A and B are shown apart, each in its own frame.
Chain A
Amino acid sequence: MDIQNIRNQFPILSRKVNNKPLIYLDNSATTQKPQSVIDAVSNYYTQINSNVHRGVHQLSQLATDAFEEARKSVQEFINAKEHHEVIITKGTTESINMLAWSFGEAFIKEGDEILVSEMEHHANIVPWQMLCERKKAKLKVIAVDENGVLKMQEFANLLNSNTKIVSIAHISNTLGTINPIKEIIDKAHKLGALVHIDGAQAVAHTALDMQELDVDFYSFSAHKMYGPMGIGIFYGKEQLLNKMPPYQYGGEMIDQVSFTKTTFNELPYKFEAGTPNVGGMLGLQAAIKFLSDIGLDQIKTYEDELLNYATLELQKIEGFRMIGNSPHKASVLSFLLDEIHPFDAGTILDQLGIAVRTGNHCAQPIMDKMGIPGTIRASLAIYNTTEEIDALILGIKKTQQMFL
Chain B
Amino acid sequence: MNIEEIGQEIVEEFSMFDDWMDKYNYLIELGRDLEIIDEKYRDQQHLITGCQSRVWLSAEEKEGRIYFKADSDAVITKGIVNLLIRALSGQTAEDIINDKLDFLEQIGLKDHLSPTRANGLSSMVKQMKLYALAFKAKKG
Q: Which residues of A contact B (CB under 8 A)?
A: 18, 340-344, 347-348, 351, 358-360, 373-374, 402-403
Contacts and interface: CB of A to CB of B under 8 A. Distances in A.
B73 A18 contact: no
Interface in B15-34: 20-21, 24-25, 28
A383 to B, nearest CB: 26
B35 to A, nearest CB: 19
Given A351-B20, A359-B52, A343 B28 contact: no
B64 to A, nearest CB: 36
B122 interface: no
Contact of A403 (B28, B52, B73, B118): B28
Given A342-B52, A402-B28, A403-B28, A18 B20 contact: yes
Nearest to B52: A359
A347 B76 contact: yes
Contact of A343 (B21, B24, B53): B53
Interface of B: 20-21, 24-25, 28, 52-54, 73-77, 118-119
A341 B74 contact: yes
Contacts of A360: 52
A340 B77 CA distance: 12
Contact of B73 (A341, A347, A351): A341
Contact of B52 (A18, A340, A343): A343
A344 B20 contact: no
Contact of A344 (B21, B25, B54, B76): B76
B51 to A, nearest CB: 9
A341 B75 contact: yes
B24 A348 contact: yes
A358 B52 contact: yes
Contacts of B54: 373
Given A347-B76, A402-B25, A403-B75, A341 B53 contact: yes
Which 6 pairs of residues, A with B, have the shortest CB-CB distance?
A341-B74, A343-B53, A343-B74, A359-B52, A343-B52, A344-B74
B28 A374 contact: no
A249 to B, nearest CB: 33
A342 B24 CA distance: 15
B74 to A, nearest CB: 4
Nearest to A348: B24
A18 B25 CA distance: 17
21 contacts: A340-B75, A341-B53, A341-B73, A341-B75, A343-B52, A343-B53, A343-B74, A343-B76, A343-B119, A344-B74, A344-B76, A344-B77, A351-B20, A351-B21, A358-B52, A373-B73, A374-B52, A402-B21, A402-B25, A402-B28, A403-B75
A17 to B, nearest CB: 12
B113 to A, nearest CB: 14
A18 B111 CA distance: 13
A34 B7 CA distance: 45
Nearest to B20: A351
Contacts of A348: 24, 76
A18 B19 CA distance: 12
Nearest to A360: B52
A367 to B, nearest CB: 11
A173 to B, nearest CB: 16
A343 B117 CA distance: 11
